[in-house]
Chains A and B, each alone.
Chain A
């Protein structure tokens, strides 16, 4: 197609993109308005740059603590999933053992069940272990993933066989082959799973909300929920808090975009 006929495509895409971005733009503008400006009609499009809204978030919430909780939860879940899912995914893809088919179906069945069916017993376990309001409650149940195992199994299936065979003839055991040969080759798959897990953990709401109810042990998403209750009408502070809670993931997304997109496209193609 000639370049001149591309402008209608650009026009439609640009209008759509504006609809995607405009709410964020408004969120930012509100976050630097004074309370008075935020309740004015017509709306204030040139704010008075009240940056103090951002510091006020820290006065209303243990924001730094909740930020740290969210980082630790996300890191803990992601690192554990990458290790555990890669191990299991490799075994399912490349090793033969009795009960492989049955176990794999069992793993997959977890994917088909909505998370609400796990929630009450998970809560019981965590509460009986005395983990309520601790980091362990946020991290441990999220360390295991049927989805991740499946994703990495598909990835390992797609890798060539011969290098592995060579290592095997040299007498390396499966764990060594996995670690020294296969894992480096699986880097794109690991990155895709890693960024998906970061995203889902960071944004998770219901589980953190249920297990960690004291402000000091909450995650950002649950913290935002309480902030909303306190400052019902103070939207500039709410918007400043939301923006700060969201920003790290957006930065990660912009940096590692390629891997996230590949991961999602990969799940769609299987």
Chain B
């Protein structure tokens, strides 16, 4: 123990942060595995995908440069416009779940509340469950003839639709599942944010006569706004890439599929079912552009409503 202390004492006498020059070969060595892996499997592929988006793929492999042809096709492709609209509708609906997560986190943060870890476990079950299994489970609940949901509705005299094959409702049905799987995840982030708010703010507000509702709007929401911003950005990015749910819930011969495809589903079809890799790459680039511009817009807007201490 004493030797450690003298070592620490000796270390403290050195200028802080000074490093011998011989460090950098070690640093490169340590970064090399991840660096090379990311370069080969992630960074270079992005460049390639952008290049592929200007090419057309033959039936027997090989590709030819076609300039902007894919982009021109894409602009006039009604399926793309439709898929973008579906994706935005789905993402918008899933965003409606964010306030639910805030309420959940606030409730879980109630002082002296018992059983928080039990609640947290239960709310987290959908988060850790395999999305493919989640989709299958909900498909069963949504089943038009024997599903639990329509049975429940029938008790109130409501004749429920075929939730996953009726084009008018299927996006909403999937958004409910999207919210159900995200509530626990987002609430955990909010809970961490709430625990950073100093308790004396609430005490001071209580002395000034502010009720719980007033405290929520005047203290909790503004001070939680960095977490709200983070969760919103994450939720938007995630739901814009929705694939698992639609792939598992809607069969290829589902009549509502064509009109309710998301943009990533369209990408998957083009790339790995129809073997139109050039066009698929083009769709992926458009998705990147959409995600980046929405994220930039959110970062611009945050200045108006996010409070950093």
Instruction: Report A's interface with B, CB cutoff 8 A.
Output: 1, 3, 6, 9-10, 12-13, 16-17, 19-21, 23-24, 26-27, 30, 38-43, 83-85, 87-88, 90-92, 95-98, 100, 103, 106-107, 109-110, 112-125, 140-141, 143-146, 149, 161-163, 165-166, 168-170, 173-175, 178, 199, 202-203, 205-206, 209-210, 220-222, 224-225, 228-229, 232, 235, 238-239, 242-243, 245-246, 249-250, 253-254, 257, 260-261, 264-269
Contacts and interface: CB of A to CB of B under 8 A. Distances in A.
B98 interface: no
Contact of A210 (B30, B121, B272): B272
A128 to B, nearest CB: 10
Range for the number of chain B residues in contact with chain A: 35 or more
B28 interface: yes
A225 B248 contact: yes
B45 interface: yes
Given A166-B10, A203-B130, A268-B230, 20 more contacts: A23-B138, A42-B151, A83-B33, A87-B34, A90-B30, A91-B31, A95-B24, A98-B24, A110-B38, A112-B295, A114-B241, A114-B291, A144-B38, A144-B41, A174-B27, A225-B132, A249-B128, A250-B129, A253-B124, A257-B124
Given A13-B119, A114-B291, A97 B23 contact: yes
Contact of A9 (B34, B107, B148): B107
A171 to B, nearest CB: 10
Given A95-B27, A103-B35, A265-B188, A162 B12 contact: yes
A73 to B, nearest CB: 13
A130 to B, nearest CB: 15
Interface in B250-304: 251, 264, 267-268, 271-272, 277, 280-281, 283-285, 287-288, 291-292, 295
B85 to A, nearest CB: 18
A238 B43 contact: no
A241 to B, nearest CB: 8
A148 B19 CA distance: 25
Contacts of B140: 26-27, 30, 235, 238-239
Given A9-B110, A205-B247, A118 B287 contact: no
A151 to B, nearest CB: 12
Given A21-B125, A203-B131, A242 B136 contact: yes
A19 B141 CA distance: 13
Given A95-B23, A120-B52, A106 B248 contact: no
Interface in B1-33: 4, 7-8, 10-12, 14, 16, 19, 23-24, 26-31, 33
B65 interface: no
Contact of A224 (B117, B136, B272): B136
A88 B121 contact: no
Contacts of A30: 140
9 contacts: A17-B123, A21-B122, A41-B145, A43-B148, A121-B52, A174-B30, A224-B132, A242-B133, A269-B192
Contacts, number: 300
Closest 8 pairs between A and B when the two form their complex, measured CB to CB: A144-B37, A165-B11, A121-B45, A265-B192, A166-B7, A268-B189, A97-B24, A242-B133
B193 interface: yes
Contacts of B145: 39, 41
A44 to B, nearest CB: 10
Contacts of A170: 7
B129 A120 contact: no
B231 interface: yes
Nearest to B245: A205
B137 A239 contact: yes
Contacts of A91: 26-27, 30-31
Given A121-B48, A166-B8, A1 B112 contact: yes
B188 A118 contact: no
Contact of B244 (A43, A107, A206): A206
A175 B30 contact: yes
A210 B264 CA distance: 14
